[in-house]
A and B are shown apart, each in its own frame.
Chain A
Amino acid sequence: MQLFLPIAEVSVNAFLLLGIGGVVGFLSGMFGVGGGFLITPLLFFIGIPPAVAVATGANQVVASSVSGVMAQMRRRGVDFSMGLVLLLGGMMGSGLGIWVFALMTAAGQIDLFVQLAYVLFLGLVGLLMLQEAVRTMLRNRGGKAPIRRSHVHTWVHRLPFKIKFRISGLYISVLPPLVIGALVGFLSAVMGVGGGFIMVPAMIYLLGMPTKVVIGTSLFQIIFVTAFTTLMHAISSQSVDIMLAVLLILGGVIGAQFGAKVGLRLKAEQLRGLLAVLVLAVAIKIALDLLLAPDELYSVTKGIGL
């Protein structure tokens, strides 16, 4: 069934969109991530204009994060005060990202900028996750219990403006969460992702938050940052396609429920290893597009109607 998308101005198969939503939803349910980093490149691939793909990707992440945070709230996995601090940084980062996005679009370099951001961040995070997962798997095979200290004092703990985060059991400066929030907000606006793949490791390794509140808190703040990003894109460039978003969301929320079931059967380090491979595969695919000579060197961008 072909469907003409009102904002993207392309005709695509509705079942293809439901399918993309479903597969990404399945993976995001399995790994506990938003899936924006998969949806947006897939939308590029099927011919959705990049600006629409990024803005609509952000809208889809709102839905999957809402779905995820409900479950986390029931098991008390959300640190609201930490979430609010991250959110404050996130809004600032997102605003800056929207501005850079418009600037790069005008200069004709937005595709390159988005692709480079994908290669850099997915590549980096993928490698780190893979290394960590492999190390854990090897250690478990060796039979030795992992040694992990709960409170490691680093330079992070010497910064001013300290606040008590009760649910996380932390007494740290608001500056690191603000900066992390801003970075993730910036990436959300530019890449059309929620940024969970950066937020989660940053919370664990930089802020030292306990694992049980990390995913819930990250999802909580991602809802607001991606909602803000969606709204800003809708106002500044009219590039959110509701019809596209609804189909992706429908497929996504259903897929996520099945993915979560499968995820429960796998071990944590196996999950992280698989996610790392997936993230790296996306990064490599985009890197190849940049490195290999394209079939058509020229591209046409429509200006203002006369």
Chain B
Amino acid sequence: MRGAFLYLIFAVSLGLGLSQPTLAEEIVAQFNQTRVSITTNFEGSQIVVYGAIKRESPAPKNKKNHVIITLEGPSSTVVVRRKDRVMGIWANNAELGFEQAPSFYAIMSTAPLAKVIDEATDRLYHITIPRAIRASTQNRDSEQTTEFTDALIRVRTSEGNYVQSEYGLRLLQDTLFQGKIDLPANITEGAYRVRIFITRDGQVIDSQFREIDVRRVGLERWFFNLAHEQPLIYGILALFLAIFFGWGASALFRYIRP
């Protein structure tokens, strides 16, 4: 925390003091961690983003700047299924595949997203949650696509994997911002992409993309690799442990009370 705070001071002084002749406004940002380790006792983690808007000239009056931060986990194809009552029992009936849906997606902004970005910007950068998900191109029924997209977002939101927090960010003095994103415990490993946008009038003025590496370590890593790379040996290990404990307990208790 302290290191990050020092960095923030440094970043702000950089933003205010030095000037570079490229862009009018630029993002300077730093995270509290760029590597998250999934250990055996992993209970989730928190990503803190510190940042500032660096300018050479004063910000234009009566135009408000906004900041958006997104954190996106590795994507995969997903299938969403709907249960219906079939012959008296609730069974999966209809389904829709999605070509790409992030395993985790958090978005925070300084104001409601509808105010911060316009439709065209969202389409270009895939910022809002519905835009970050891509339904299968084979499906042309737009009504059904909407229904299943809403369901996907609802399910993942209730699991804590899709998070949207409008006003989750505050922009101090039109310059400084800080955002906190909680990573849940049931996280998928991989490269997490962080995007920071500054917008004005619904348009992106500057953006910055970074990556956070989320990885299993230690025993977690070892079991996962063994299970996928040497499944036969992994299976034999599982059986060996089961037989060992089963036999061991029986022998131990016979020894304790003859």
Interface residues in chain A, defined as those with a beta carbon under 8 Å from any beta carbon in chain B: 1-4, 6-7, 9-11, 59-60, 62-68, 70-71, 108-109, 111-112, 227, 230-231, 233-235, 238, 240, 242-243, 245-246, 249-250, 253-254, 256-257, 290-294, 296-306
Contacts and interface: CB of A to CB of B under 8 A. Distances in A.
A254 B77 contact: no
A304 B98 CA distance: 11
A64 B81 contact: no
Nearest to B76: A305
Interface residues of B, number: 65
Contacts of A293: 85, 90
B239 to A, nearest CB: 5
Q: Which A-B residue pairs are the 9 nearest by beta carbons?
A: A66-B246, A234-B235, A303-B77, A253-B249, A11-B185, A298-B151, A63-B246, A63-B242, A62-B242
A11 B185 CA distance: 6
B234 interface: yes
A238 B227 contact: yes
B182 interface: no
A7 B42 CA distance: 14
A290 to B, nearest CB: 4
Contacts of B231: 234-235, 238
A278 to B, nearest CB: 22
Interface of B: 38-44, 74-85, 88-92, 95, 97, 100, 103, 148, 151-152, 154-156, 158, 185-186, 188, 190, 216, 219-220, 223-224, 227-228, 231-232, 234-239, 241-243, 245-251, 253
B235 A231 contact: yes
A253 B246 contact: yes
Contacts of B234: 234, 238, 240, 242
Contacts of A111: 92
Given A9-B186, A256-B249, A303 B79 contact: yes
B80 A299 contact: yes
20 contacts: A2-B43, A4-B185, A6-B219, A9-B188, A62-B246, A66-B246, A70-B250, A108-B81, A111-B92, A234-B232, A240-B227, A242-B241, A243-B223, A253-B249, A293-B90, A297-B83, A298-B155, A302-B76, A302-B103, A306-B74
